[in-house]
Structure 1
């Protein structure tokens, strides 16, 4: 999902909207998406969030108010957001940003379904991890 697909349109502009907590991405095919920072943080492609394989995903909570402290370029294919909660290990390739934008409604529904199944809210604090992890 986070790999680079040569057929995916590339961004022609990236605009950080700090007040509304969203990253606006306009792509070369004319598509434009406003990605809430919370959505980006919840679906970060990092191993800390996605795990190392199917079924190892870590449900993210308490991210509604997360902001971006920085947005750093990674070569000519991605950006690395530095979130206000300290998370900075996700590399968002152009195709992953496009995926997040194009599938945003479905991703929100999936997130809300996973929260309900776990019996927690979006605003619940993240549980303290125990045992080995990829986090810092």
Structure 2
């Protein structure tokens, strides 16, 4: 049986801590979660990129200018969480398997 989260909390240093049903508590950096977002638009952004104009500057939204935070997590069935980030992104569905793989052991994090 796949381990599942039994507790979620934000640590003092603003990381997500997930306690898993088989015992360990793993830590998650918000930026690492955002960078690993599995939604279709994020996967597309991480794929091959066309050549860019070397003189063009990216435009950032107000949300992208602020420190990235978790705004909320919502269960999706019995297998995943949808995570809302402070930059307005909330379409990624993080399966328990993906979350488990992204976690860091507090002893080494």
Is TM-score (shorter-chain normalized) higher than 0.5? yes
Give 1 or 2: higher strand fraction.
2
**Match status 1:10 vs 2:4:** yes
Q: Is the 8 A contact 1:50 1:57 kept in 2?
A: no
List, as ranges, runs of 4+ consecutive aligned residues in structure 1 with deviation greater than 3 Å.
none
Cα distance change on mapping 1:9 and 1:57 into 2, 3 Å: farther
What residue is the counterpart of 1:92 in the other structure? 94
**Match status 1:22 vs 2:15:** yes
User: What is the Cα deviation at residue 70 of structure 1?
Assistant: 1.5
The RMSD of aligned alpha carbons is 2.7
Q: Is the 8 A contact 2:28 2:104 kept in 1?
A: no
Unaligned runs of 5+ in 2: 50-63
Unaligned runs of 5+ in 1: 1-6, 104-136
Computing the radius of gyration over CA atoms, which structure comes out larger, 1 or 2? 2
Cα distance change on mapping 1:38 and 1:98 into 2, 3 Å: same
**1:37-92 CA distances to partner (integer Å, 9 max, x unpaired)?**
1110011111122229xx7278xxx6992101111111121111110001111101
Q: How many residues align?
A: 91
What residue is the counterpart of 1:37 in the other structure? 30
**Match status 1:56 vs 2:18:** no
Find the aligned partners of 1:72 and 1:32 in 2 and give their Cα distance. Answer: 19
